Amino acid sequence: MSPTKPSNNYQRIYATVRRVPEGKVATYGQIAVLADLPGHARQVGYALNALNDDTVPWHRIINAQGRVSQRSEPGWDGYQRSRLEAEGIVFSDRGVIDLKRFRWQG
């Protein structure tokens, strides 16, 4: 068995993100843990950034504060929020999601 396989981690992250059901959200750290990569929350965000696949619901991934992370390119944060609201996710005035309510329990 190979001890470590970098590219394999990305596939595991994508597979985990695909498990997130509609109307629910997950944090980067949560995805990392579910993908069997605890502590690699950054890699999750990085993997999604490099992602170019519509089959992965990357818009359901937010930070641990329940807020949509600001992307490199402006405008996409608004797109992500719109997608989530379309699925029933509710944002507060500050743009914060109630994780207790919408967090996906893997």
Partner DNA sequence: AGCCTGACTCGGA
Partner DNA sequence: CTCCGAGCCAGGC
Binding site for DNA (CB under 7 A): 6-7, 9-10, 27-29, 39-46, 48-51, 58-59, 61, 63-65, 69-72, 80, 96
Q: How far is the CB of 88 from DNA (least distance, A)?
A: 19
Which is closer to DNA, CB of 38 or CB of 88?
Answer: 38
CA-CA distance, 35 to 65, in Å (whole number)? 20
- Based on the number of CB atoms within 10 Å of its own CB, is 62 exposed (0-12), middle (13-18) or buried (19 or more)? buried
- The size of the chain, in residues, is 106
Upper half-sphere CA count for residue 42 (Cβ side, 13 Å): 1
Q: How far is the CB of 24 from DNA (least distance, A)?
A: 15
Which is closer to DNA, CB of 42 or CB of 101?
Answer: 42
Q: How far is the CB of 25 from DNA (least distance, A)?
A: 11
